[in-house]
Amino acid sequence: MASRCKTAVLISGSGTNLQAFIDAVEDGSLDLELTVVFSNNPDAYGLERAEQAGIPTACIQHADFLNRESFDRAVIAELDRFEPELLILAGFMRILSPSFVAHYSGKILNIHPALLPLYPGLNTHQRVLDAGDAWHGSTVHFVTEELDGGPRILQGRLPVQPGESADELATRVQAIEHRVYPEAAGWVGSGKVVFRDGKCWVDGRHAEEPAIQTFTETSGLG
């Protein structure tokens, strides 16, 4: 029987996406081994979530380092003790250095609250509303040196409701994230999806566009 993919989850805050991973592993819908939860913030509630689930935790505060590169070297040294085969960025509020990305090339996933390549960066929900877009959602993608620019794996999308606020839209999009992020990570962990030659490959074929899941109702999603 093949061993499960060793996975590290990196957080900075409450860890709602982390909880989605924990729940998916516990209910058997996600076949990953969550080997460590790492945070740059010792007060992150996500560390408590990990401890409650029996997952080892680690914390290094970025403020203790002179620059991003020295912090990232310390993070690499800590994570490598757990031999991760996959890194999940789940609200990790640090921009990764090129050396960090290169060290884990093709092994880092992120989720961005927009239908990339639309709206990289911040304030995506308000930008969608300001543009009058009909659809919004989140994108799971491989991490490269280009911010929010790595190959896309899976998108979850929903229709924008008339008159809803940015906060209301953000809540609905977050519910989608809790579904699509573990699913996409499972694809990578199983080898169905791989990063090769700077591109996303699915079942041995180059995927020029991400898979898309459409949600018309997000009530009941966690």
- Rg of the chain over Cα atoms, rounded to whole angstroms, equals 17
**CA atoms of 67 and 145, how far apart (whole Å):** 17
The residue assigned the tokens 């609250």 is 113
Tell me whether residue 125 is one of the annotated catalytic residues: no
**CA atoms of 30 and 167, how far apart (whole Å):** 29
**CA atoms of 46 and 18, how far apart (whole Å):** 7
Spot the catalytic one: 62, 103, 112, 136: 112
Strand partners, 142: 109
173 touches 125 (CB < 8 A): yes
Q: Residue 139 corresponds to which tokens in the numbers above?
A: 């994108």
Give the DSSP letter of residue 54: T
Which is nearest to 113 in space by CA: 105, 101, 121, 102? 121
| Catalytic machinery residues | 112
